[in-house]
Amino acid sequence: MIVGIHQPNYIPWLGYFYKIAKSDVFVLLDNVNYTKNSFINRNKIKTQNGGVWLTVNVLTKGRYGQLINEVEIDNSKLWNKVHWKTIFFNYSKAPLFNEYGHFLEEIYERKWEKLIDLNESLIKLICELSGIKNVKFIRASELNASGNGTDLLIDICKKLGADTYLSGFGGRNYMEEKKFKGDDIELKYYDFKHPIYKQLWDGFVPNLSVIDFLFNDSSIINMLNGTTEET
């Protein structure tokens, strides 16, 4: 069984879903410290003037060291209306907006209290729309896993009975690879190559939120369910 693990990011980039598609179980790493103004609560979309951040307002004052699953959304900012208005204004003329846009609109019309609940709902919705099936999602907090860094990843894999851990290529820079071998867990890396596709307006901006690809290119299903380069 192949396990992928990652923090529950906000409308993540395409590579995030590529990792999900190659996993049997995908663990949302929600029991680690929240990092302010990271991809956990923001991401970029393309506008006529280039990339722009969409940031979910969250409560952080006096909450230093809170875990991701503890982060509350600041609904006094009406962030959801701003995000949907920005998405609609910039993608309503995209080829596939009419096919997928209303699903996202339903998410933004709801009131969300916890960031983890919003992010998980968006991740699962995009998986459904892009044809990613047969992947089981679970939150790390539900497993009572312990440890830090590599030890935490290994404990999660052991509690799930995984024989393979799938990591992005950047994991080579910080993971203790020998520990995986010691616990009979195969460590595999995937090298995701971001496709160049037709976007609205001139020029190509890479590494945007997956919704840019979702609205612009019908090949998302084949792309996410294609082959990987693994080592």
Instruction: List, for residues 65-88, the tens digit of each pLDDT value.
Output: 999 999 999 999 899 999 999 999
Note whether residue 230 is domain-resident. Answer: no
The boundaries of the domain holding residue 50 are 2-224
Note whether residue 169 is domain-resident. Answer: yes
Note whether residue 197 is domain-resident. Answer: yes
Instruction: List, for residues 27-56, the tens digit of each pLDDT value.
Output: 999 999 999 889 999 999 999 999 999 999
Burial (Cβ within 10 Å: 0-12, 13-18, ≥19) of residue 86 = middle
Confidence of residue 185 (pLDDT cuts 50, 70, 90): very high
Note whether residue 229 is domain-resident. Answer: no
Instruction: State pTM to two decimals.
Output: 0.94
Note whether residue 231 is domain-resident. Answer: no
Number of domains in the chain: 1
Q: Which of 28, 44, 9 is nearest to 212 (CA)?
A: 44
